[in-house]
Amino acid sequence: MKVLGIETSCDETGIAVYDSELGLQAHALFSQVDIHAEYGGVVPELASRDHVRRILPLIDSVLASAGVAKSDIEAIAYTRGPGLIGALMVGAAVAQALAFVWKVPTIGVHHMEGHLLAPMLEAVPPAFPFVALLVSGGHTQLVAVNGMGDYELLGESVDDAAGEAFDKAAKMLGLGYPGGPVIAKLAAQGNAARYRFPRPMTDRPGLDFSFSGLKTYTLNTTIEAKENDTFDQQTQADIAFAFQEAVVETLAIKCRRALQQTNMNTLVIAGGVSANLALRKRLEAVVAKLGAQVFYARPEFCTDNGAMIAYAGCQRLLAGQSDSLGIKPKPRWPMTELSKV
C-alpha cells in the first residue's frame, strides 16, 4: 500500500510517501522557523497561512521525487491532532479533498503516535513492548507501549513541556528561536562547575514532570548576573549548560524509574528534544546500567515530519481502519483514546 502522509500540526509542513512493502519512498519538510523567529514563538495565524502556501507544491515535489503518480497513491494519512486548530484544518482539508478526487481512503493520525513510531523507520527498529519518552515543544510524557494503540500513560508534565522550557530559557538568555538547538550549542562552551540548577520533582516518587520552577530559577539566575554586571557570553554559556544539564538529568531519572517500574528493557525517545545529543548520551548510560536498550529516530525524524505520519497511518490502514469524509481535527486528543491495532 502506497500512502501519502501529510503533517501540519504546528509550524512545519511535512509530506512523505510510504510504501508498506518498499518502505519510505520520499519525504520533504518546509520549516517556518524563520517566519516565527522574530516573535520568539509560533504565531498560529501565520503558521496556518504558510501551510496553505506550501502544502500542494510540496506534495507535487514529493510525488515526483518518489517517482509515484497521483493515481498510484492508495490512501492518505494526515495529522488529525493534537496541534494548532488552524494548522490542523489545512492538512485535514487538503487530505480529504484529494481523497475525494482520487477516490482513496483517509486516516487521521495522532501526532504523538507518529512521533512514538518514528524510530520504526530506522533499519533496526525497536520491538514491542517498550517505554517511550515523548519529549517535544508541546508534550513531555512517559508511556508504556505494549503494542500500537495499546498505551498507558505513566507520567507527564504538570506545566511546561521540556521543549517549551528550552524555548523560554533561550528567550531569557537573549538567544534565538527555537531554543533547543541554540541552548545545546551554547551549553557546549559552558563551565559545568559554576552553577547547579534544581532537578524538579526528582526528590519524590512518581513519574510526572514539572519544568516551570526550573524556568523561574533560570530567570532569577539571569537577572542576578545582570544586576551584578557579570552577564557576559561565558555566563550565558554557563547558565545554558546548567539549564540543559538539569533538564537532561531530570528526564534520565524519570526514564530509569519508568523502566524499573514496568520491568521493561527497551526505551524509545521521540519528539524534537530527542535530537539533543546530551540527552541521548545520558540515556544511553542509564539503559546500559540496567542492561536495557534505547532507540531513537534520526534527527530529521525527531522533529515534525510527514514520514512518521505516513508510517503510522499505513499501519492503521493495513489493520482495516479508515475515516469517513469530513474535516474533523482534534486539537486536544489524549493518546490513550486511540484504538488498538
Cis omega (within 30 of 0) on the bond before 126? no
Comparing C-alpha atoms, which of 90, 59, 75 is closest to residue 323? Answer: 75
Comparing C-alpha atoms, which of 120, 162, 125, 111 is closest to residue 141? Answer: 162
Strand bridging mode 106-110 / 266-270: unpaired
Helix, strand, coil percentages for the chain (3-state, nearest 5): 50, 20, 30
Whole-angstrom distance, CA of residue 336 vs CA of residue 113: 10
Q: Determine if residue 167 is labeled as part of a ligand binding site.
A: yes
Find cell 534505547 and name the residue: 294
Q: Determine if residue 180 is labeled as part of a ligand binding site.
A: yes
Q: Determine if residue 291 is labeled as part of a ligand binding site.
A: no
Q: Determine if residue 27 is labeled as part of a ligand binding site.
A: no
Q: Determine if residue 111 is labeled as part of a ligand binding site.
A: yes
Q: Determine if residue 276 is labeled as part of a ligand binding site.
A: yes
Query: What is the SS3 assignment for 209?
Result: strand
121: cell is 523507520
Residue 270 gets the label, from left (phi > 0), alpha (psi -120 to 50) or beta, of: beta
Q: Determine if residue 138 is labeled as part of a ligand binding site.
A: yes
Q: Determine if residue 268 is labeled as part of a ligand binding site.
A: no
Whole-angstrom distance, CA of residue 251 vs CA of residue 282: 9
> What angle do the packed helices 162-172 and 212-227 form, to 10 degrees?
10
Q: Determine if residue 136 is labeled as part of a ligand binding site.
A: yes
DSSP E strand stretches across the chain: 2-7, 12-19, 23-31, 75-81, 106-110, 130-135, 140-147, 150-156, 266-270, 293-296
Q: Determine if residue 134 is labeled as part of a ligand binding site.
A: yes
Other CB atoms within 10 Å distance of the CB of residue 72: 15
- CB half-sphere exposure, 282, CA atoms < 13 A: 20
Helix or strand holding residue 199 (H, E): none
Q: Determine if residue 115 is labeled as part of a ligand binding site.
A: yes
Residues in the chain: 341
| Residue set of the binding site for substrate | 134-138, 167, 180, 276
Annotated binding site for Fe cation, which residues? 111, 115, 304
